[in-house]
Structure 1
Amino acid sequence: MSVVEGLMSGQTGLAVQRSQVMIEGLWTGEWDSTVLGQAGEGAGVFIFRDGRIYGGSARYYFFGEYHLAGEQVRATLLISHYSGPPSGLLGPVDEGQISLVGTLAGDEMVLKTGEQDEAFSLAARLVKRTGISR
């Protein structure tokens, strides 16, 4: 988010910068998902930096982008299978894309899928483990 967008939304430039600094770093996450009625769970690591997300789990790697508006987070991830049988947060597929929305509160972030697909849902809790020096 630019400083102009921040000012238009009622935030000061300092608030926009503070949110950006708060999210940048190494995060761990755990999630619960439902794919076509089948419940699943998983865990992985994420790096948030300069509007981009990079990460992975035991069977999948993912990358994408995020946008901040104050404490509100929007993210889009492209997910690709790389090891073992494909059975992860997207079900038995090799790759896919998900959109997530949520909130950032200090060193914790809660994300979930929107109304994009009734056959798929995901709820995740991420914890920041360390920041990134500039």
Structure 2
Amino acid sequence: MVGDGWASLTALNDEVPDHDHGSTVDNLDHGFQVSKHLECWRKEYVRTRLVHPNQLIDDPDDVDGHMKVESIGETLRAGEPLPAVVLIHQPDERGHPYQLIEGRHRYNAIHREGWPLIFAWVAHVSCCGGPGPDL
């Protein structure tokens, strides 16, 4: 874990702007009843294998996606840091307690490169001491 303090998505976005912020807010609002003001977020390093693999690109015809992932992989190999991906922590029995909300290409690159950890903004809603949904 990077920080023990709770933050809102708005505060994290003010610190490091997310180019897909609007989409992230919509996904959280509609899928999880979480507003951008709920202080349920922490910056964390998460084990990559614990992120649900449903966002791995498996379409060989997704040329643009594969090119983006390769470009990000080059950035990783050069030792450059990446912006955080956005995850929600949802403990489950399948061994993948984190669901990707935003950062699909970064997640794919980190997965392909075999990095054990991924830097993320993680929402803890009704778990780990985090508040319940607020919408």
TM-score by length of 1: 0.26
Greater fraction of residues in helix = 2
Greater fraction of residues in strand = 1
TM-score by length of 2: 0.26
Identify the structure with bigger relative contact order (alpha carbons < 8 Å, sequence gap 6+): 2
